[in-house]
Amino acid sequence: MITRRDLLILACGAAAGGAGRAHATPAAMEEAIRKVTGGAAAPKGRVRLDVPPLIENGNSVVLSVAVDSPMTAADHVKAIHVFAPQNPLPNMVSVYLGPRAGRARFTTRVRVADSQTLVALAQLSDGSFWSDSVAVVVTLAACAEEVK
């Protein structure tokens, strides 16, 4: 007997091409990060990625990134990138700023496809990279709303 739940699960699978959901591969994630850093190390620190650890609805999640920087002409943040290894595409959003921003911080709303560890990466004017990562749990995968 097919229950409503079975149907929903089937529909969810079909929505993402049949065999499970479309996730970025670890290689795609590495490639996306290497495109930004050029292979340079991005140690943890100076960056704060703010995102709720428990996400009820992955379709709209408030995400903010702040970087500890004086934001002067000599020492400022040039760019901030956010990555999601388990989304269909690893890149989420990239912002480009400079000393005229005053402070290195932005907020936006993103989609999170599955429970995963989000990564924020900042590029500073001295050429160094810093990062932060946050593990999030998604209770309602965006999948359930993928079928119209």
Partner 1 sequence: MARTIVNVPATARRGDIVTIKALVGHVMETGFRHGETGALIPRDIIRSFVCSYNGEEVFRAEFHPAVAANPLIEFSTIATQSGKLEFRWSGDNGFSAEASAAIAVE
Query: Closest separation between CB of residue 112 and partner 1, Å?
Result: 8
What is the rounded CA–CA span in Å between residue 2 and residue 142? Answer: 23
Measured from the CB atom, the residue of 46 and 105 that comes closer to partner 1 is 105
Query: Closest separation between CB of residue 58 and partner 1, Å?
Result: 9
Query: Closest separation between CB of residue 25 and partner 1, Å?
Result: 15
β-strand partners of 130 = 122
Query: Closest separation between CB of residue 128 and partner 1, Å?
Result: 21
Residues forming the site for partner 1 (CB under 8 A): 14-17, 22, 59-61, 64, 84, 87-89, 91-98, 100-103, 105-112, 146-148
Counting other chains too, the contacts that 52-56 makes at CB distance below 8 Å and 24 or more residues apart are 52/136, 53/134, 53/135, 53/136, 53/137, 54/136, 54/137, 54/139, 55/112, 55/136, 55/137, 55/138, 55/139, 55/140, 56/139, 56/140
Comparing C-alpha atoms, which of 147, 115, 110, 116 is closest to residue 16?
147
Measured from the CB atom, the residue of 111 and 128 that comes closer to partner 1 is 111
Specify the pairing of strand 77-83 against strand 91-96. Answer: antiparallel
Measured from the CB atom, the residue of 42 and 143 that comes closer to partner 1 is 143
Measured from the CB atom, the residue of 94 and 139 that comes closer to partner 1 is 94
